[in-house]
Structure formats: structure tokens, C-alpha cells
């Protein structure tokens, strides 16, 4: 997935900034591969036939689990 | 700070004496002075029924009763419903019928329902709903609570028959 | 996924915490006691929008019994930065600001100071002695008004983000996004029938019976100990650590039993305040909200303004759908407009869709999640329009929905295609239910239907299981139990181990004692923490097979476990028999599971409502109500039914009576349970339920999360029923007697 985003950045500069903050996926964004939200984020393997969507994260009403990222 | 008043009551069959300020509600006295935390506070103005106790067999919201008013009275709280280690049919029935989810309203419902069954051993669904209209539940939608009360009524009647 | 006969899953054991809950022995947050406890009370703003010129606590400090007072100034004075505390990066100043206001108060009820005293009455009295000098500002209370040029601005540093780009424009619109699929203009051009309607929904509250509470002790060793009723112990830990600028390891959160949440007990309000008071006093401090505080100082769900336009062909196929959705976020950005936008047309297969979503701040309490957040507002609008189109086409409401129902492979407007879902099955079950074809005689009566969707989430959960010598097991997990989940989780472990549910002893523990576990919400608890228990049980089974193999002097691979009995060749040992031998075969067996599952399925729900409308008073009586939902696999059917019934009744209250009735100064006029009118037992009939099981192929038992989707369709169904009963299409929530009479009278004129 990280490579997908790198490739996207080549074609559409600025998209990486929309998706990542300091190299990590923004907490308000989830990644769905073939209709299924992946817990692996940027490490998720992607095949040539995969369909990838960046969608609003649904987190059960809660703050992101990595709320301590800033510390 | 007001001078405290000595209050003598019978709670769940046992004599209890406590000191309270005149401004303290019976609910506060039960929970904070006597440590009987089974009775819950949901609104403190008589509108949710979570603080329901029996005062001389009357169903009351203890948040609207002053501690000093309980002088000389018989009080039944949720802690007095079971007979020792044996659950009351209502308590068993609530569990068997999954009539509770978060359980915060359950003590109030059980105390109120017990008073109903003591007075009206065979209540209809409408009678149950009317009697329990002042006990709010936000989790169950009341369906399983009504069924539990009905089943308990039947079980009590079977035992008495 | 093959259909299977389970021994425990699908049965109805009594919940493990049952005896405590029916005897009053269970300890909820407000019941917590500790030596030396002080009691806190929060001072709240009386203005909906004002600058804080001065706070003078000197008189309050002198009241005998007062031990400490804190304000926003007592937070660590760290420079503002962005933190990950919700859907998107939030300024730390916003996160702290809602807990204790700094500079400005943004809603009536906004906390701005707190007092700790020897009893709660003194604390309350002292709070009244705190002098606050306000500079009152004009307030704005609805999204459309807040979006207008010239509207009072809540945050000078809030600039609109539009389609992902920062516009630099200071306004009350935090964000505007848009989903586009296909070509709506072409779609509408193709339509034979087009309906476009506007809808308004009022702010409503989750209405949990137990007010918020927290006790905090800033201990002598620097650790901060917290006891509270929360939907997420780890959320409390992480957010409190962030606001207090301490490492998470310094905080330990012990969850007490919780008296309802529905999404409203995820956000953190009291814990940091109690901690600051404890730091100042050196004593534990307990704060319990009053009911008024709960209404005015926690997180209701957004009121909203929604426009929906739909077009369909004569043959019954929807050709285009468009939605404009402006949600009130309350004082700080972060309404649930994004999930609302994902759900508004989620039940339908539509090729041409445009959805515009706006997150708008207003001078109301900062909103929080409420059971399928954002979706109920959206479904009220969409399902009303669908109903009107079906009527214009002369189609049966359920047949029309079936013709357009989302299926596996249908693409949602926000992008992804559905995997295996049960939308069709739910609608079919509604059609087949006797309620749908039962005669409904009498004047002023009508029947309405609606469907709705909500996601489930995965997210991390952890679990450990230790085996006792008598063949019972202790199961330790971290999902606070709002509705019986410790049992549904225990049941999944019991199924794997082949032992009765009663032989699993589940405990919900503190944040030091179990691995990270995400919130009890998002319809995830039975699904994800159950999965962690499943994995932990599998781990136990692996180890026990090795033990049996040792005893039988054979290979572990040859040992099987079937219905609680270990076999190899002609040898057998029951689970308890083998458990009794553990200490002779290597010592204790402890299994662990930690998951962050994929395979999340969503849940569709539908309901049928029969109503009678009194044409003289506008009172709506619910005559009959049936809720249908796809549970995937009902682990404990009684509690699945309970979720469906509870969500339905919340939806009924939302539809008919509940609202924040605000005056022009932004004050909630009905902040009591008398006037914030939630359904009572007398207002309702029995709620019939039908559990549809379209197994979720992603989960070991096929479970889908069921907690939320059931609140989504009721307002739409009731609106559609009111139309058939009284001839008026309601476009506002709540559909209370005055609103219905207005609609009836307007119709007559």
C-alpha cells in the first residue's frame, strides 16, 4: 500500500499529503481493499487486480487507537 | 453545614440508625451514609425511577424523599429483595428473560415490580406497563422487562397454589 | 461458511454478572468509594457564546470544606499542536477546551472550572461563589444559519477545508466533502419520477440512565489512577494522558460497571478534571454529573439539515440520488456527517450519486457518537423520499426496495463494493412477516416501513484464558460490558473449548491487566473481542493437545478435540479430566489472543411500524412494531433481540418526542428527564424481532455487529406510517403533537 501511495504521488503530486501525516496514515482515513477495511494500513499487500479505496475512518465513535502518536 | 438529625428506620427488616443533614435526600442517605449503593441516581428529580425504594410499602423515588422523612418508616431497597442467597422470582425471571442490558435501571424496576406483584398477583400487560411507567429503561425497550414480570407473577402463583 | 450446529453459540445462558446486577451488588462508577475521597463539582457557562474576561475563585476557595479549584490554566502550559483524537487531527486546544474552557465559552453548559470539597453540596455551593466575567457574544444554533455569511464565528482559527484542500476561509464550516459516482444529471434526465425534499432533525441525546462519573487519584508515585464508567478504558487512558501531557504508562484506568453509553460515554469529560483536582489536593476526587450536566455538558448527536433528491424510472429502478447534508458538530468540529454520508443511500444499488457533506460548528454542546452516528438522520430523509417515489410509481414499498436493494458487489457512493451482506434477506423477511400483511383497520391508522445500514468495525482486542484444575477457565478481557458482552464473548471461548458457557468466568479488567482493547462501540464487541477470545481458546486447545499427547505418548497432531473431549486413537480425556492433569504435565495453561480483525461485515436493519394519529391532538400511538436485522450469526439470541428492541425504542423516541428545545439565547429549556421525553413502558407495545442470519464469511462464527443498525430505520418508518395515517409527510424530527397538528392544519389550508 505504501508503494501504491508513492506511485499515486508520482501521478498526482500532493495526494500523499492528503493521506499521510509524517509517513503514517492519517487517523481519519481507512483503507479498503476489495471492499474490506484493512487493519494493516500501509503494510497491506496489494495485487494488480486489487481495488483500493481511501474512505472516512469509522472508529466506533472513538478516538484513534494511536492517540499517543504525538508523544 | 447544618446540624445533623438522628433518623431511626427499619431497612430491609433490620433497624438502622443514621445521622444526616436535613437537606440530604433519602437516596443520598442510603448510598452515601449507609453504603447501600444498589439504589441508583439517574436524575435526582423523580423522573427516571432508578432510585425507587419502598417506603412503608409505597413505591417512592427516594431522591424526592428527605432522609429525615424516613424517621420511623420501613424501607425496602434492592438489597432486601433476595432472601439470603435465594433470589426472588423477579430477580431470577429478569435474568432468564435477559430483561437487563446495562443493569442500572434494574434495581428500581425490581423493587417497583415487587410492590406490584405484592398488590396485584396477576397483572395484565397494560397494568404492568402503567405501574412501571415511572421507571425508565434506555437499553431494553421494555419488552423483556414486561415478559419477566409476567413470568415472575406466574411463578409466584404456582408456588402459592 | 457452512451452517453448523453449535453447542454454546446460539443458546441463551444466564449472563455471568447476573446475580450482581439484580441484587444491586454490581458496582457502577458512582458507587466507587475510597478513603479520603473528595467530591468535585463543575462550574458551567450560562452563556451559549461568550469571551471569558475574568475568573475569580477567591471567594469560593474560602468556603470551609473546599480543598482545590481548577480552571483551564491548570492544564500543562504546552504549545498548541495537532493531536490524533478523533476523525482527523484536532488542535490540542480544542480537545482541552471542551473539558475546561479557555478564552471563550462556546455553549451553555461548557465547563470552565471545577471545585473539590469534602462533600458534594459544599463543592456545588463553592462553584456558585466563583465569579466569572463574561462578554456575551451572539450565538448561532443551526447549521444553515451558521453557514451563512455574517454568522457569528465560533473559532477564529477554524478555516474551511473543501474537498481536501484548505481554503483559508475562516467560517463555521470545518469541512465540506463530496462523493461522486456516475452522472446524476444523466440519471435524473432518465427518471420518470423525481422527488426532492428538505428535512430538519433536532439535537437528541443518547439518554443513558447513568450520568457520567469519574474518580481520579494522582498518586504519590506519580501514577494517575482512574475509576470510571466508560465505553473505552484505553480511550480514557490515552486521551487523559494526551490532555495532561503525561505518558500513557502513568495512567491506569479501572472500568466500573457502566449504566448505558450508546456512544456518549466514549469521549472524556471528567477524568482529566478529577486528576487535576487530585494533583492539587493529594486526595482522590470523585465527580458525578447531574442530569442537567449530562444534557448540557456531554455530547448529544448532531441536529441536521438534509436535502434528498431521488429519481426513478417507471419500471421501478432508481436512476439517480443526491443528498446535501449539513450536520451540527456542536462547539467543536467533528460531527458524524461522514458516516452519515456513507449510509444515506447505502441500502440501494444506484449508479449515479452525488453526496455533499458539511461539518458545521454551532453554539451547542460538542457532539458525540450516538448509536450508528449520522445514519439515523440520513435514513429519515432518504427513506421518506424512497417511500414517496414508491407511492408515485404505485409500487409496494418493500417490493420497490427489493428491486433496488444493495447486494454483494454493489458499489456504495463512497467507493467500496459490498462483500456478502443481508439487505435483500432483511427486506424479504419484512415482506414475509405476518405484521406486513396483517389487516390494519380503523381510521387514522397507517403502516410504514424503512430500512437502514450501519458498519461494524474491527479494531484491536486482547484476551487471555487460564485453565483451572477443575476444568473451568478464567477469561480476562478489556471490553467494558454495556449490554451482556462478557457473556457473548465467554460463549465463543466455551464453544471452542467444548465446555459449557457457565464454566467460563469472564472478567473485564483494567488497562494494566490486559492487552490494548479498543472501545465498546461500533458494534464490535461481540465480533472483535469475541474473536480475541476465540483465538485465546484456540491457543489453549493447542497447548492442551500437547499435554494430552504427552500423557498418551503420541504426537500432538494426532489429538483431536470434539465437543469437549480430547481423542487420540482409542484414548479419551474430557476437558476437565485433562485440566486436572495439567500440573503433572508441565504446569499451567494460559492461552492468549490479540486481534485486529479484518472480515468485518455490515448489518442491515428494517422495521415495520403501525401507528394511530389522533387528528385532534397530533399524538402518535405506536400500535405495533417489528424490527428485523441481519446478525450474521446471533451468538446469544436474547441479547441480539435486546439490542434490536432497545435501538428501536431509541429510534421511536427520536422520531416522536426527543429534542433539545433551545431558546434563542442557546439555552436548553428541557434539560430534565421530565421534559426531554424518552419513551416509557406505557408508550410502547411489545417489540417483535426477527433475527436474519446471513453469515459474515469473515468471522469464525459468522457474526456481524448488531448493536447499532436497529436505530437507523425507525424514524423513517414512523414518518411513512404517519403519512398513511394522517395524510401528511413530516419533514422534521421530532414528529411531536404540535408538529403533526401544524402539518395537518397546513394541509387543510
Query: Of B48, B79, B110, at which residue does a domain stop?
Result: B79
Place of cell 451558521: C146
pLDDT range class, residue C2, cuts 50, 70, 90: very low
User: Which structural domains are found in chain C, ordered by start?
Assistant: 3-26+458-595 (3.30.365.10), 35-137+210-259+265-297 (3.90.1170.50), 304-456+601-748 (3.30.365.10)
Q: State the sign of the Cα–Cα–Cα–Cα dihedral C637, C641, C646, C647.
A: positive
Q: Where are the domains of chain A?
A: 2-70
Q: Is A38 at the interface with chain C, CB within 8 A?
A: yes
Are B73 and B96 members of one domain? Answer: no
Contacts 24+ apart (CB under 8 A), B28-36: B28/B67, B29/B67, B29/B70, B30/B62, B30/B75, B30/B77, B31/C30, B31/C31, B33/B67, B35/C33, B36/B11, B36/B77, B36/B79, B36/C24
- Per the structure, the count of domains in chain B is 2
pLDDT band at C3 (very low <50, low <70, confident <90, very high): low
Q: Which of B116, B111, B106, B113 is nearest to B140 (CA)?
A: B106
Distance to chain C for A61, nearest Cα, Å = 5
**Domain-embedded: residue B152:** yes
Whether residue B99 sits in one domain with residue B59: no
Domain harbouring B142, CATH code: 1.10.150.120
H or E segment to which residue C719 belongs: helix C714-726
Q: For the domain that residue B58 is a member of, what is the CATH number?
A: 3.10.20.30
Give the structural domain span for B11: 5-79
Whether residue B20 is contained in a domain is answered as yes
Please state, in angstroms and rounded to a whole number, the distance separating the CA atoms of residues C279 and C217.
Answer: 8
How many H-runs (helices) and E-runs (strands) does chain A carry? 2, 5
Indicate whether B35 belongs to any domain. yes
Selected residue of B27, B29, B96, B101 to mutate for chain C interface (largest C Cβ count, 10 A): B101
Task: Give the CA angle between residues C205, B32, C35 to the nearest 5°.
Answer: 105
Cell numbers at B139, concatenated: 437499553
Q: Where are the alpha helices (DSSP H) in C184-230?
A: 184-190
Report how far apart, in Å, the C-alpha atoms of C229 and of each of C96, C255, C494 are: 20, 6, 28
Q: Answer with the one of B52, B79, B106 that is the final residue of a domain.
A: B79
Look at residue A27 in the predicted model and tell me its pLDDT.
85
Check B91 against C22: CB less than 8 A apart. yes
The owner of cell 499521510 is: A20
Q: Which residues of C touch A8 (CB under 8 A)?
A: none
Instruction: Give CA–CA dist C446/C223, Å, rounded.
Output: 60
Nearest to C210 among B44, B87, B104 (CB): B104
Q: Tell me whether residue B50 is in a domain.
A: yes
Q: How confident is the model at residue C53 (pLDDT cuts 50, 70, 90)?
A: very high
Where on the phi/psi map is residue C412: left (φ > 0), alpha (ψ -120 to 50), or beta?
beta
Boundary (domain end) residue, out of B58, B79, B100: B79
Band the pLDDT of C589: cuts 50, 70, 90: very high
pLDDT in tens, C704-733: 999 999 999 999 999 999 999 999 999 999
Residue C37 touches chain B, beta carbons under 8 Å: no
Superfamily in which the A2-70 domain is placed by CATH: Beta-grasp domain (3.10.20.30)
- Grid cell 461563589 in the structure block, residue: C129
E-strand ranges in chain A read: 20-21, 24-25, 29-33, 36-37, 52-56
Contacts of C289 (CB under 8 A, 6+ apart): C42, C211, C212, C213, C269, C270, C297, C298
| B84 occurs within a structural domain | no
Query: Rounded mean pLDDT of A22-41?
Result: 92
Whether residue B103 and residue C290 make contact (CB cut-off 8 A), yes or no, is: no
Taking an 8 Å cut-off on Cβ atoms, the answer to whether B95 and C678 are in contact is no
ipTM > 0.90, yes or no: yes
Q: Does C12 sit within 8 Å of B43, measured CB to CB?
A: no
| B75 and B9 inside one domain | yes
Tally of CB atoms within 10 A around B23: 11
Question: Three-state SS for C236?
Answer: helix
Interface test with B, best of C32, C209, C287, C680 (most B CBs within 10 A): C209
Tell me the chain C residues in contact with residue A53 when contact means C-beta distances shorter than 8 Å. Answer: 414-416
pLDDT at residue C85 in the model: 57
Sign, CA torsion C435/C436/C440/C444: positive
Say what the pLDDT of residue A67 is.
35
pLDDT band per the 50, 70, 90 thresholds, residue A64: very low
Same domain, B22 and B54: yes
Residue of B nearest to C689 (CA): B143
- Identify the pLDDT of residue C84: 63
Structure confidence by residue, pLDDT tens digits, C485-503? 999 999 999 999 999 999 9
Residue with cell string 489453549: C540
Subunits with at least 3 CB pairs below 8 A relative to chain C? A, B
| Gap between the Cα atoms of C114 and C15, Å rounded | 39
Amino acid at each position: 500500500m505504501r508503494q501504491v501511495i508513492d506511485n499515486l504521488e508520482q501521478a498526482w503530486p500532493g495526494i500523499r499529503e492528503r493521506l499521510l501525516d509524517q509517513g503514517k496514515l492519517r487517523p481519519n482515513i481507512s483503507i479498503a481493499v476489495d471492499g474490506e477495511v484493512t487493519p494493516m494500513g500501509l503494510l497491506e499487500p496489494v495485487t494488480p487486480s486489487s481495488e483500493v479505496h481511501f474512505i472516512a475512518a469509522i472508529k466506533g465513535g472513538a478516538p484513534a487507537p494511536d492517540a499517543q502518536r504525538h508523544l | 453545614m447544618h446540624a445533623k438529625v438522628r433518623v431511626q428506620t427499619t431497612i430491609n427488616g433490620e433497624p438502622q440508625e443514621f445521622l444526616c443533614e436535613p437537606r440530604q435526600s433519602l437516596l443520598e442517605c442510603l448510598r452515601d451514609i449507609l453504603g447501600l449503593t444498589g439504589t441508583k441516581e439517574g436524575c435526582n428529580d423523580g423522573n427516571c425511577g432508578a432510585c425507587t425504594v419502598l417506603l412503608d410499602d409505597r413505591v417512592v423515588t427516594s431522591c424526592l424523599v428527605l432522609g429525615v422523612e424516613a424517621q420511623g418508616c420501613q424501607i425496602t431497597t434492592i438489597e432486601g429483595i433476595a432472601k439470603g442467597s435465594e433470589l426472588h422470582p423477579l430477580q431470577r425471571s429478569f435474568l432468564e428473560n435477559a430483561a437487563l442490558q446495562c443493569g442500572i435501571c434494574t434495581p428500581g424496576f425490581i423493587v417497583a415490580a415487587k410492590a406490584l406483584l405484592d398488590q396485584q398477583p396477576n397483572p395484565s400487560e397494560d397494568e404492568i406497563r402503567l405501574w412501571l411507567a415511572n421507571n425508565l429503561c434506555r437499553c431494553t425497550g421494555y419488552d423483556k422487562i414486561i415478559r419477566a414480570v409476567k413470568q415472575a407473577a406466574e411463578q409466584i402463583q404456582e408456588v402459592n397454589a | 461458511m457452512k451452517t453448523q450446529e453449535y453447542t454454546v453459540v446460539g443458546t441463551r445462558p444466564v449472563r455471568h454478572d447476573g446475580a450482581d446486577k439484580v441484587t444491586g451488588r454490581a458496582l457502577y462508577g458512582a458507587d466507587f468509594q475510597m478513603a479520603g475521597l473528595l467530591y468535585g463539582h463543575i462550574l458551567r457557562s450560562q452563556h451559549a457564546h461568550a469571551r471569558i474576561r475574568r475568573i475569580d475563585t477567591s471567594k469560593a476557595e474560602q468556603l470551609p470544606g473546599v480543598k482545590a479549584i481548577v480552571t483551564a490554566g491548570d492544564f500543562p502550559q504546552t504549545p498548541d499542536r495537532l493531536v490524533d483524537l478523533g476523525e482527523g487531527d484536532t488542535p490540542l486546544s480544542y480537545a482541552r477546551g471542551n473539558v475546561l474552557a479557555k478564552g471563550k465559552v462556546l455553549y451553555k453548559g461548557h465547563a470552565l472550572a471545577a471545585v473539590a470539597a469534602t462533600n458534594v453540596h459544599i463543592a456545588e455551593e463553592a462553584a456558585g461563589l466563583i465569579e466569572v466575567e463574561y462578554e456575551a457574544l451572539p450565538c448561532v444554533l443551526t447549521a444553515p444559519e451558521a453557514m451563512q455569511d455574517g454568522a457569528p464565528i465560533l473559532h477564529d482559527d477554524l478555516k474551511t477545508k473543501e474537498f481536501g484542500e484548505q481554503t483559508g476561509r475562516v467560517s463555521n464550516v470545518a469541512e465540506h466533502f463530496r462523493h461522486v459516482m456516475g452522472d446524476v444529471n444523466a440519471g435524473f434526465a432518465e427518471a420518470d419520477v423525481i422527488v426532492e425534499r428538505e428535512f430538519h432533525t433536532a439535537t437528541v441525546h443518547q439518554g443513558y440512565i447513568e450520568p457520567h462519573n469519574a474518580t481520579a487519584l494522582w498518586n504519590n508515585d506519580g501514577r494517575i489512577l482512574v475509576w470510571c464508567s466508560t465505553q473505552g478504558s484505553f480511550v480514557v487512558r490515552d486521551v487523559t494522558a494526551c490532555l495532561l501531557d503525561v505518558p500513557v504508562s502513568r495512567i491506569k484506568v479501572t472500568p466500573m460497571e457502566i449504566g448505558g453509553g450508546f456512544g456518549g460515554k466514549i469521549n472524556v469529560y471528567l477524568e482529566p478534571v478529577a486528576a487535576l483536582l487530585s494533583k492539587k489536593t493529594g486526595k482522590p476526587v470523585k465527580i458525578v454529573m447531574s442530569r442537567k450536566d449530562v444534557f448540557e455538558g456531554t455530547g448529544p448527536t448532531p441536529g441536521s439539515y438534509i436535502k434528498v433528491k431521488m429519481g426513478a424510472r417507471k419500471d421501478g429502478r432508481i436512476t439517480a440520488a443526491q443528498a446535501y447534508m449539513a450536520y451540527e458538530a456542536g462547539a467543536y468540529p467533528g460531527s458524524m456527517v461522514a458516516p452519515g454520508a456513507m449510509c444515506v443511500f447505502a441500502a440501494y444499488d444506484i449508479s449515479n450519486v452525488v453526496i455533499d457533506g458539511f461539518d458545521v460548528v454551532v453554539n451547542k454542546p460538542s457532539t458525540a457518537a450516538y448509536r450508528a452516528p449520522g445514519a439515523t438522520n440520513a435514513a429519515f430523509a432518504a427513506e421518506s423520499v424512497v417511500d414517496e417515489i414508491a407511492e408515485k410509481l404505485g409500487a409496494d414499498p418493500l417490493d420497490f426496495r427489493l428491486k433496488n436493494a444493495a447486494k454483494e458487489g454493489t458499489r456504495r457512493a463512497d467507493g467500496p463494493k459490498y462483500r456478502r451482506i443481508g439487505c435483500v434477506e432483511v427486506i424479504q423477511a419484512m415482506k414475509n412477516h405476518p405484521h406486513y400483511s396483517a389487516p390494519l383497520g380503523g381510521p387514522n391508522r397507517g403502516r410504514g416501513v424503512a430500512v437502514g445500514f450501519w458498519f461494524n468495525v474491527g479494531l484491536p482486542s486482547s484476551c487471555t484464558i487460564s485453565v483451572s484444575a477443575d476444568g473451568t477457565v478464567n477469561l480476562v478481557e478489556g471490553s467494558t460490558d454495556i449490554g451482556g458482552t462478557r457473556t457473548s464473548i465467554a460463549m465463543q471461548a466455551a464453544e471452542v473449548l467444548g465446555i459449557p458457557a457457565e464454566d467460563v468466568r469472564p472478567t473485564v479488567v483494567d488497562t494494566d491487566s490486559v492487552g490494548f482493547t479498543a472501545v465498546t462501540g461500533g458494534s464490535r464487541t461481540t465480533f472483535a473481542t469475541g474473536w480475541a477470545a476465540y483465538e485465546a481458546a484456540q491457543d489453549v486447545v493447542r497447548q492442551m493437545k500437547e499435554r494430552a499427547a504427552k500423557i498418551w505418548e503420541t504426537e500432538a497432531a494426532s489429538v483431536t478435540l470434539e465437543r469437549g473431549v480430547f481423542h487420540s486413537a482409542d484414548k479419551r480425556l474430557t476437558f476437565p479430566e485433562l485440566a486436572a492433569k495439567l500440573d503433572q504435565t508441565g504446569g499451567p495453561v494460559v492461552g492468549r489472543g490479540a486481534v485486529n480483525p479484518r472480515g468485518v461485515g455490515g448489518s442491515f436493519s428494517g422495521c415495520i411500524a403501525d401507528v394511530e394519529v389522533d387528528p385532534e391532538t397530533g399524538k402518535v400511538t405506536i400500535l405495533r412494531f417489528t424490527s428485523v436485522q441481519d446478525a450474521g450469526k446471533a451468538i446469544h439470541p436474547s441479547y441480539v433481540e435486546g439490542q434490536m428492541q432497545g435501538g428501536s425504542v431509541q429510534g421511536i423516541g427520536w422520531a416522536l418526542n426527543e429534542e433539545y428545545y433551545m431558546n434563542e439565547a442557546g439555552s436548553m429549556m428541557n434539560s430534565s428527564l421530565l421534559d426531554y421525553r424518552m419513551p416509557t413502558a406505557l408508550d410502547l407495545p411489545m417489540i417483535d424481532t426477527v433475527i436474519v442470519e446471513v453469515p459474515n464469511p469473515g468471522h469464525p462464527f459468522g457474526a456481524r455487529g448488531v448493536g447499532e443498525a436497529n436505530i437507523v430505520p425507525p424514524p423513517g418508518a414512523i414518518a411513512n406510517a404517519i403519512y398513511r395515517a394522517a395524510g401528511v409527510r413530516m419533514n422534521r424530527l421530532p414528529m411531536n403533537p404540535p408538529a403533526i397538528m401544524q402539518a395537518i392544519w397546513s394541509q387543510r389550508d
